[in-house]
Structure 1
């Protein structure tokens, strides 16, 4: 599972950088939790509402602003994410692809 997550992160980061350079990540609609991709990755706009039994790797303090994939500033309420191209995620959100920012 770890290798799959690393592959997704690397693939997504490369795709995200390409889109960001084209300006596609600058703004867009907010990602809905009902979105198919959001559901597949367990996205929650409020990380405190993550089902810890379904996602046991979730830990307090993990949210989009502390994720390596988050395109916004740590102080932004929302920002882009290469996993959800063209849509913004909540800074306080979380998904199962969360990866610690370096």
Structure 2
């Protein structure tokens, strides 16, 4: 109960983002639902991280005890720094290419 003020912003922001996401979907927007969905996904991970901090395995192993050696972490950082922009550009390009392709009256079974 003492950490409720640390945990409270994550669900409140998720509710607010969910409201705006619903509103954007109803208004048939293209870009705003995409960005709001990404934000909602990130808020889920943020809430999960805040609620478990600093435990990797609750009440058993902290994140510092579970971390790999600094050499391994720097190797993974280089890999993430190279691959993450490629994944983000690919996602953005595929969203740009397929925008506006689905129409409301274009349902075939």
In the superposition, the TM-score normalised over structure 2's length comes to: 0.29
More helix per residue = 2
* Higher relative contact order (Cα pairs below 8 Å, separated by 6+ residues): 1
Q: Over alpha carbons, which structure has the higher Rg?
A: 2
